[in-house]
Amino acid sequence: MMKTIVWFRNGLRIHDHPALAAAAASGTVLPVAVLPDRPPTASDWWISKSLEPLSKRLAALGSPLVIQKGSPPEVLARLAADTGADALFFNGQIDPAARKEETELLGLGGLDNVKISRFEPDMMLDPDVLLTKSGTPFKVFGSFWKALQQEKIPWPVPAPDTLSSWREADFLQSSSLSSILNDGQSWSAKFGQYWTPGEEGSFERWEMFRDNGIQDYETKRDYPAIDGTSRLSGFLASGNMSIRALWHAVKRAEEEGDVQQPEPFLRQLAWREFAYYQLHHFPHITDQPLRTEFQHFPWMNDAAGLAAWKAGETGYPLVDAGMRELWQTGTMHNRVRMVAASFLVKHLLIDWRNGAEWFRQTLADYDVANNTLGWQWIAGSGFDAAPYFRIFNPTVQGEKFDPDGLYIRRWVPELAQLPSKFIHAPADSPGDVLAECGVVIGETYPAPIVDHKTARSRALAAYDSVKGHKERNR
């Protein structure tokens, strides 16, 4: 019987876990999770909370989870030597940092006599299979979506019924789950008010969405004051839920008559797949624009503007509400996320990589592929991105998607008493209305840090300069 270490990376679940299923079928199993030895981020909170139920589930199956902290390649090599493991199995990941870990792992001399197997990443399809007729990667989502629908998405791998370990449960000292967090990031503790990470939590959230939300997804998902989205992003980002399992769950619900209009949500799952697909084929896009002419974009070094944006103090209520929701809950409504990102890039002309880094630190549902695609899309530097002239007006967006100001009232309480007709542009509101509602522009709530019309003209001029580089490069 083979003695296999199963490295739990991003697939923090039992169902549809190819590496775990293969290890269980071939012998005894030692599940291992390695916590990063670096300052924690919001998504580390989600991971730590996911490991708690995962550890209990694995122990109930017969092989407790070992949790260590440090460099994954070094920790795994040491564990393999200490335990006499024959094999090391893990599910692959496609982001550059994870692939570097895999390369380092394969190059460690201490694992020369250990069979190392990398199983497929958490995607619906092998990204090298879905290509254009000329054999190149798809660059336009519409064409990618059509091609994806022609493919048969593999069924999820069944969860093992039982596991056995060749070591006693207390043989290896596990790190404390709380060690992933520190006092400097205690703000993440409040996320527990909003999320229940873990495999079971993902199933419960899907069932709630299936029964109460998916039917109206297309018409409600853009309105941040209502529960119109799936709220599954954190579960997918951490691998609490398999993307293939979710795809088939939606299809099954449609077949059984529980869901009548699944395509809008399935398209969103396909966008997630497209993000992973692009990162696989173009791994440099985490810090470089896909469209090379954007290397010449005239970004501004505006430290004060960046700080105001992070703090939700821009003077634009919808943007500020989104940034404060992010800090409080570890996530942000997708419509508001687009508006807030557009504000940073196009109103302030601040490099999208600054925004991507802030989201990396503060998103509990952080996903490097989705984050990269989203920022490149809003900046106009990615394939099939938003056109350069699409510059969201934060005031108009608020009036359209939060007409009664309910979302703003929740996250920007200093504006809560303003009438709906004034809440989206408080700086332009009559003085007597502001006074009656206890709002003092510049004191209780900031004045806009940039004028929309001026910012729009400045952004269009900047994008015109990029177009010039594109012409010269032809």
In a domain, 208, yes or no: yes
Determine the structural domain holding residue 304 and report its residue range: 292-473
How is residue 120 annotated by DSSP?
Answer: P
Same domain, 245 and 134: yes
The answer to whether the CB of 31 falls within 8 A of the CB of 259 is no
CB burial of residue 109 (10 Å; 0-12, 13-18, 19+):
exposed
Question: What CATH number did the domain enclosing 300 receive?
Answer: 1.10.579.10
CB burial of residue 254 (10 Å; 0-12, 13-18, 19+):
middle
Q: Which token pair is 406? A: 């309910």
- What pLDDT is attached to residue 385? 74
In a domain, 22, yes or no: yes
In a domain, 180, yes or no: no
Question: Of 100, 121, 142, which residue constitutes the final position of a domain?
Answer: 121
Same domain, 308 and 456: yes
Which pLDDT tens digit goes with each residue over 257-294?
888 889 999 999 999 999 999 999 999 999 999 999 99
Distances from the Cα of 339 to the Cα of 224, 324, 426, angstroms: 12, 14, 18
Q: Can you list the alpha helix ranges (DSSP code H) found in 150-296?
A: 199-212, 217-220, 233-238, 243-255, 263-281
Same domain, 238 and 296: no
- What pLDDT is attached to residue 10? 87
- What pLDDT is attached to residue 251? 95
Same domain, 148 and 267: yes
Which pLDDT tens digit goes with each residue over 207-265?
999 998 899 999 999 999 999 999 999 999 999 999 999 999 999 999 998 888 899 99
Same domain, 312 and 357: yes
Same domain, 102 and 127: no
In a domain, 181, yes or no: no
Q: Which of 240, 220, 206 is nearest to 48 (CA)?
A: 240
In a domain, 164, yes or no: no
CA angle 361, 243, 289 (to 5 degrees): 50
Q: How many domains does the chain have?
A: 3
Q: Which of 287, 275, 283 is nearest to 123 (CA)?
A: 275
Same domain, 399 and 332: yes
**In the sheet that 87-91 helps form, which strands lie side by side, from edge to edge?**
66-69, 27-35, 2-8, 87-91, 115-119
- What pLDDT is attached to residue 166? 81
The answer to whether the CB of 106 falls within 8 A of the CB of 23 is no
Backbone dihedral angles phi then psi of residue 258, each to the nearest 5 degrees: -80, -20
Question: Of 280, 313, 329, which residue constitutes the final position of a domain?
Answer: 280
Same domain, 317 and 466: yes
Question: Of 226, 246, 280, which residue constitutes the final position of a domain?
Answer: 280
Question: What CATH number did the domain enclosing 203 receive?
Answer: 1.25.40.80
* Distance between CA atoms of residues 434 and 430, nearest Å: 6
Same domain, 264 and 206: yes
* Distance between CA atoms of residues 33 and 7, nearest Å: 6
What's the chain's Rg over C-alpha atoms?
Answer: 24
In a domain, 159, yes or no: no
* Distance between CA atoms of residues 73 and 222, nearest Å: 42
The answer to whether the CB of 119 falls within 8 A of the CB of 92 is yes
The residue ranges of the chain whose pLDDT is under 50 are 169, 171, 180-184, 471-474
Same domain, 55 and 115: yes
Same domain, 85 and 29: yes
The answer to whether the CB of 466 falls within 8 A of the CB of 297 is yes
- What pLDDT is attached to residue 462? 94
The answer to whether the CB of 2 falls within 8 A of the CB of 37 is no
In a domain, 190, yes or no: no
- What pLDDT is attached to residue 183? 40
Same domain, 312 and 426: yes
* Distance between CA atoms of residues 433 and 439, nearest Å: 9
In a domain, 386, yes or no: yes
- What is this structure's pTM? 0.94
